[in-house]
Structure 1
Amino acid sequence: MRFLFYFIVVSLSACGQSNFTEDNNEKIVRPNIKLDDYLNNNMNDSTPSISFGHVSNGGLKHAKLMPYKGTNFSYFDEKSYLSGRAFTHHKVLNTVINGYKELEKNYPKRRFQLMECSNKHGGKMWPHRTHQNGLSVDFMIPKLKDGKPYYGLDSIGVGHYWLSFNNEGIYSKDSSISIDFEKIAHHILILKAEGKKQGLRISKVIIKVEFKDELFEGYFGQLLKNSGIYIVKSLTPTINDLHDDHYHIDFQEL
């Protein structure tokens, strides 16, 4: 089933292309005309977004485009971005951006990856079951290699969906690579605080259910466990298997 999902996603959105080439060990930056044009054609305005319906059956008006990159984060796949899958509600946009700013204060040298959000007008975004009203966001799991921050798997685009981690968060192809659960826990707590400032609450967090022991183990994990944030307790085997490489957050307007 994971292979089928991977085939579907790759068919929909091939891995993003790099913006530089190497010549004699020097990086030559090339202008990304497609990305620049896309950003210019989808500049955000001040009109408040309107979300209607449910995350699994809804729509979105006056959507805002997530930035392709910031000082400590970037969108995970260029083709996905250019395919219109990074739109969101203005309150979610502010929450996510301010959340990354807060992460930068706490972890100034860490980088993070933002994943898929919603279509410009909401509605179904195949193959996702949710993401329909601009209040859902996927975040790539931060990783460690031998206990140190690791980014070697962050740039493979939609291929990241194909990654597999065991129930303790260890990468199936390299046991020295593991999930940084404390950063996930802290990030979720930050999003809760920043969302409240925007008039949002976290209604649901979806992550592989077997990760809970690891997720709640550290200092921020204990705070998360006692925060009242709902983290799914059970998932179908297919959905559970697909949420070991990222965590999904549904917001709700207060």
Structure 2
Amino acid sequence: MRPFSVGAMLAATILCAPALASTCFGSSASGRIEGAVALPLAGANFAAYSELGRKLGRTYVHAQVRDVVLGAYSALSRSTPDVQYVYGETGLRTGGPMPPHRTHENGTSVDFMVPVRGRDRKPTPLPRIAHNHYGYDLEFDDAGKLADLHIDFAAIAAHLAQLDLAARRRGLGIARVILAPEYIPRVLATPAGQRLKSLPFMKTRPWVRHDEHYHVDFAVTCAT
């Protein structure tokens, strides 16, 4: 049986099901949400950063954001089947503050852990254990290296391109991408990078470096 085969069946079922109604309020920095849904624990080519984090209710999103995220993963399972993606924290079931994040309050924000390759240049799982806060405490250098690990910038670019496409197909968009500034040129220089030049990458340096993950705010119409 393939890894995550049960999760893949679950993801496929969700993709085919009617979208649940979610209503977001305010902004990602000050807001809440009603009718949020949790992302699946795993699928054919993706997994949550932490089963514990999901059990604690830290992976809820707007239903439309859920559909965008899973739609992108489905496309990537065909275009880059060797890459295993990992999503990070998203938000709480009713939104509101979720320390230590300064955003993630209304179901429109998703953290994605960086895909990595090992010394043999083959995709390898990102180390995610309690000691490193399930990947959030890893520190990559300016070239995207950490010991034998190398950030797969091409896989990041392919992922962002599919997120953008999936969002547009659903009448949404991407409002902001936060990534360590020194990594942005490396992402744009990859084969899929040409499709990302119009994405709203954050120009200023974020309050935390965002080297082990990239943050995406989706453009969803929310109530005030």
TM-score, scaled to structure 1 = 0.75
Residue 121 of structure 1 aligns with which residue? 94
Q: After TM superposition, list the pairs within 5 Å mapping 1:223-238 onto structure 2.
A: 223-225=195-197, 228-236=198-206, 238=207
Q: Once the 2 structures are TM-superposed, how far is the Cα of residue 45 of structure 1 from its aligned partner?
A: 8.4
Q: Give, in whole Å, the separation in 1 of the partners of 2:75 and 2:29.
A: 29
Aligned mate of 1:108, from 81, 84, 104? 81
Q: Deviations over 1:42-64 (max 9, x none)?
A: xx985410011000000100111
TM-score, scaled to structure 2 = 0.85
Q: Give, in whole Å, the separation in 1 of the partners of 2:127 and 2:169.
A: 30
Q: Does 1:72 align with 2:42?
A: no
RMSD of aligned residue pairs (Cα, Å): 1.7
3-state DSSP of counterpart to 2:31: strand
Q: Is the 8 A contact 1:116 1:137 kept in 2?
A: yes
Q: Once the 2 structures are TM-superposed, how far is the Cα of residue 177 of structure 1 from its aligned partner?
A: 1.5
Residue 185 of structure 1 aligns with which residue? 157
Q: Give, in whole Å, the separation in 2 of the partners of 1:98 and 1:180.
A: 21
Q: Does 1:170 align with 2:140?
A: no
Q: Does 1:61 align with 2:27?
A: no
Q: Which runs of 5+ in 1 are unaligned?
A: 1-43
Aligned-pair identity (%): 34
Tell which structure's C-alpha radius of gyration is larger: 1
Q: Once the 2 structures are TM-superposed, how far is the Cα of residue 79 of structure 1 from its aligned partner?
A: 1.5
Q: After TM superposition, list the pairs within 5 Å mapping 1:1-254 onto structure 2.
A: 47-146=20-119, 147-151=121-125, 153-156=126-129, 158-171=133-146, 174=147, 176-225=148-197, 228-236=198-206, 238-239=207-208, 241=209, 243-253=210-220
Q: Is the 8 A contact 1:113 1:154 kept in 2?
A: no
Give, as a single letter, the amino acid of the residue that structure 2 aligns with 1:150: T
Q: Give, in whole Å, the separation in 1 of the partners of 2:50 and 2:79.
A: 26
Give, as a single letter, the amino acid of the residue that structure 2 aligns with 1:139: F
Q: Is the 8 A contact 2:49 2:134 kept in 1?
A: no
Q: Give, in whole Å, the separation in 2 of the partners of 1:129 and 1:156.
A: 23
Q: Is the 8 A contact 2:50 2:134 kept in 1?
A: no
Q: Is the 8 A contact 2:36 2:107 kept in 1?
A: yes
